[in-house]
Structure 1
Amino acid sequence: MVFLGIETSCDETGVGVVRACGSQPPQLLGAALHSQVAMHRNYGGVVPELASRDHIRRLLPLLDEALGQAGLTLHDVQAVAYTRGPGLAGALLVGAGVACALACALQVPALGVHHLEGHLLSPFLSADPPAFPFVALLVSGGHTQLMRVEGVGRYQLLGETIDDAAGEAFDKAAKVLGLGYPGGPALARLAEQGDPAAFALPRPLLHSGGLDFSFAGLKTAVLTQARKLGPELAARKADLAASTQAAIVEVLVHKALAALRLTGLKRLVVAGGVGANQWLRAQLAQACARQGVRVHYPELTLCTDNGAMIALAAAMRWQAGGWLPQGDGWAFDVKPRWPLEPWSLAAPAR
């Protein structure tokens, strides 16, 4: 069965084509992606209205590109999946509207997919796919969560951020350092030149005994340290960036290992944009090797928001028997705020 996936939750327009056959692992046939980073950089962050308009411009050309890579036409598509949420409402509506219109024209199902489930399952398209069950560390945009994953659609929330997420901490610290947008990758690049032990920044909730996260205090500590440095900040930016990254990563690694101990599992999946951070990957590799834990990541091209992960999530739900017939044709809605855990395997697309 051929699944077309459409992702428009924020500032990337993504289209992916995945084929699923019986119980065989789904296969990625084609993918196309456009990032709006250059457009939003002038404003220091994502402008929702501009994001929505750009999705409209980009989506159909990307659709043609992805299908061309796959060597298929629209008439080969047997289901159209789209990101239903969470995300920016206007941006989500663009993808949902196009997906449901296509599905109606082709007379195939339209399937609303959870954005975070797409990230969570994206390592199944990697060269080293995981096996169930596992602990998942989801570090995507405004989300930082630890989940116990027994199978497709069977998720137990173990811990989550109570204020800023890890990605937000990277971005806000980068803004303090004047690194521009997008801040997280810029801070990570600058950190390569600095000393991670240069400044004693806090590790919020590191020894709380629980699995929840908090990064708002770290952002404040970075701002305070930058003000203390005053004119010296220009010469110490790399050190402060490295110390900030080290603090965020130490918390993520510590909590992930605690979740593994709690569940007794020996497999960890890291997904989402922050999962591309090389310092995080290195520290997790060392810590997990000591504990005999296997770590799985998406391919770097699939860490960011993309249509391939949306097509994959729909395909894996279909393989697991998780979709029910839709009772209202190709009508749709979007869910800008949508918790992952309550979305049970038996739930329909709407």
Structure 2
Amino acid sequence: MNYLEKYGITDRFKNEAAAYPKLSLARVAAQHRGLYKIVTESGELQAEISGKLRFETNELAKFPTVGDYVMISSENSGSNAIIHHVLTRKSIFLRTAVGVSGQAQPVAANIDIVFICMSLNNNFNLSRLERYLSVAWDSGATPVILLTKSDLCEDLERVLLEVERVSSFTEVIPLSMFDDDLVTKLSLYLKSGMTAAFIGSSGVGKSTLINKLLGEQELATSEVGKGDKGRHTTTGREMFLSPFGVVLIDTPGMRELGAESVDLSKSFEDIETLAGQCKFNNCTHTNEPGCAILQALDDGSLDQRRFSSYLKLRIEAGYDGLSAKEIENKKLERMLKDVGGMKNFRKYVKEKRKQR
């Protein structure tokens, strides 16, 4: 039995793995304090990264994370397998690393769906939801909003309307702990071979949802206290294989989600469209005549809270004052750091073309 087939391996990763004939392909299933649980063709192993990979990697984002496909060696039985390479990711959910300036921390890789979990109690916050959406769209995966604990919401219809106004292309699904049809409600995103990550603040019910989908008490959960803040018991990232073939990733609760890179064109499509209608291309949306955003704020069609959230994310991601083209170049530069930046990448492409 090839266990990797169950864990979503595709031809894309098999083909890239062929470039390392002396190593074996595996997928990272869990990460706890520098050690990894990996899935190989024949089963599970414990692994650690090689000294060379540790020495040559100067960015947190390039270290293996749950969901990554990696190349390993495991010569000695009884000892840890060694991770030598991380294969090219098709998607990566990043957050600003806590306590490390200018660094991004990977949360989950090679995911198809990001379930953004927000509970309808004291945790509910539209600006926080917009932040999660902006990061999720930038990850390369498809975000889906799960509004948990909907049975605790006194005016669910009003809240759903508020969320749908800021959801921008994203499906919104209210859920309750009493739901018996959870699999049916999420069936569109629970296809065999897919990988779905559950992201959200502490105490929103991520582990409870995963337990229901797994059909067993796989993850420990904690009761919500009187302050309604909740205590998450997930301390590391971990992947689980569901009965219907989809791979589920549980992540620790996040008190804050720092936005290292965001996609505002999707999460704030309405504001980006308005900005394109301004009289001046370099409009700062402060006091210029013919500013479509100022007009929308004045007539009430754009909410000041939402615009403030948009501006905060632009500044935090380093996009303030940049054009759409400049933002894309900034993203590409970040992605291509490992080949020396945009200029070296273009030089590399030209040399490859000459060799053909």
Same topology, TM > 0.5: no
Query: Over alpha carbons, which structure has the higher Rg?
Result: 2
TM-score by length of 1: 0.24
- Relative contact order (C-alpha < 8 Å, sep 6+): which is higher? 1
Q: Larger helix proportion, structure 1 or 2?
A: 1
TM-score by length of 2: 0.23
